[in-house]
Amino acid sequence: MAAESSKQFWKRSAKLPGSIQPVYGAQHPPLDPRLTKNFIKERSKGNTLPLKNKKASSFHEFARNTSDAWDIGDDEDEDFSSSFQTLNSKVAKATAAQVLENHSKLRVKPERAQSALSEMPTNCKVIKSSSEAQLSRSPEDACVRNALHKQQSLPLRPIIPLVARISDQNASGAPPMTVREKTRLEKFRQLLSSHNTDLDELRKCSWPGVPREVRPVTWRLLSGYLPANKERRKLTLQRKREEYFGFIEQYYDSRNEENHQDTYRQIFERILFIWAIRHPASGYVQGINDLVTPFFVVFLSEHVEEDVENFDVTTLSQDVLRSIEADSFWCMSKLLDGIQDNYTFAQPGIQKKVKALEELVSRIDEQVHNHFRKYEVEYLQFAFRWMNNLLMRELPLRCTIRLWDTYQSEPEGFSHFHLYVCAAFLIKWRKEILDEEDFQGLLMLLQNLPTIHWGNEEIGLLLAEAYRLKYMFADAPNHYRR
């Protein structure tokens, strides 16, 4: 009985604070049974063993075993799977024959390429770039290539891991610190150790990134969670942690923890529950759970010298875990205070931001904007998630943490500057966007952008372009209005 109540913890009546609210645009494009049936069958076979009894002691396991509205494999997919089992055998055979026929046609290209290679003249032109190679292809080759690419990419929708190479959150790779990095770290330490930290100077230093060693303290100050005065800081930290666990005792039913073997899930559940209770106008909305993750990982890194990705949190003392949980709650609350209209009824904040993004892109890159209109792609179909999750589902976690260094240094970083980051992020992929020539191909691209290997360099360039756009358009809004 207790297990059932625990499983249904977040699926209570929508009238109660803390219950899940429906979110538009959680999964685009809609799953096509004809394209996803094999994938779902294999998934249902692979998931026959129960995983809930397995203790997820590392953050990597927690992220891998946790899915939400943005992941494939929710309840809707299970309905598809059951319907596929009753598929008519004649239809299945006909479909298989069609696939074999298409595959045999596609084999023509490698054979033609091999024969062309053997007949290549010795004085042929050397192609120096991929773009030049693209232009040199014949229209027939392009059609075959596009058909092959789409047949390979459509059935599967890869999900960017929430945790991907987060062991080094200060630089890509983990090279030894340079003289410049050591100088910056020393400057941060001087600012943080002063009796009254100069927050304006701290924001200025944090904009290009915060060193990993001082990021937890810096984030507590930049978020507004702790005051600048060093003496008051310690007292406030202790008082706020006690206040949070006072909420736990008052509102949270400890019986929900009876069957909890997952420390991460238990912590996140309590954080989200208390926030929903304290903000009944919005309650819990899918996507807010993502916003806890960067704070949790940063504050965890304060107590962990090894890789956070595979660290077993059960080895930490209960006091340390309580401190990480409370600090994550208060910093997330400060963040959401500035963007709460994103999560109230009908989510008007997100609707306005998506509309502003559309108007901005129409001014800075009319060709991309018209390309979307030509194939009837609505900005809400891909940018909703960008606004709802602050690009966390589009970027590796290490990049999100670096991005938030700048967001917390910018005035209204999460609510205002994020718009220009999204615009710069979209235009970054203009070539790939213009190469796609159908609705489904565009949405597949926009929801699976290849950022898995991004690091600080790419985020730095993205932020620089976003700042340029803000400088040009923020103080002159009519520039991006029709």
Q: Which string of DSSP letters, residue by residue, matches 169-217?
A: SSSSS-PPPPHHHHHHHHHHHHHHHSSB--HHHHHHHHTT---GGGHHH
Joined tokens for residue 196:
């009254």
Q: Which of 162, 166, 169, 173 is nearest to 61 (CA)?
A: 162
Q: Which residues pair with 196 in a beta bridge?
A: 229
Q: What is the pTM of this model?
A: 0.68
Element (H, E) at 38: helix 33-46
pLDDT tens readout for residues 146-182? 444 443 433 344 444 444 444 444 433 456 788 999 9
* Position 404 pLDDT exceeds 60: yes
DSSP 313: G
Q: Which residues pair with 58 in a beta bridge?
A: 312
Helices (H), ranges, 348-396: 348-364, 366-374, 380-388
pLDDT band at 285 (very low <50, low <70, confident <90, very high): confident
| Alpha-carbon gap, residue 181 to 13, rounded angstroms | 52
pLDDT band at 48 (very low <50, low <70, confident <90, very high): very low
pLDDT band at 400 (very low <50, low <70, confident <90, very high): very high
- The answer to whether the bond into 227 is cis (omega within 30° of 0) is no
pLDDT tens readout for residues 86-102? 445 565 566 656 655 66
* Position 225 pLDDT exceeds 90: yes
**What's the pLDDT at 310?**
75
| Least reliable range by pLDDT among 17-21, 176-180, 186-190, 263-267 | 17-21
Q: What is the dihedral of CA 134, 136, 142, 145, to 10 degrees?
A: -60
**Considering the chain, what is the average pLDDT of its residues?**
75
Contacts of 347 (CB under 8 A, 6+ apart): 23, 24, 285, 341, 388
| Residue 212: exposure state from Cβ atoms within 10 A (0-12, 13-18, ≥19) | middle
Higher pLDDT, 177 or 402: 402
| Alpha-carbon gap, residue 462 to 18, rounded angstroms | 35
Mean per-residue pLDDT for 229-251? 93
| Alpha-carbon gap, residue 155 to 143, rounded angstroms | 19
**What's the pLDDT at 283?**
80
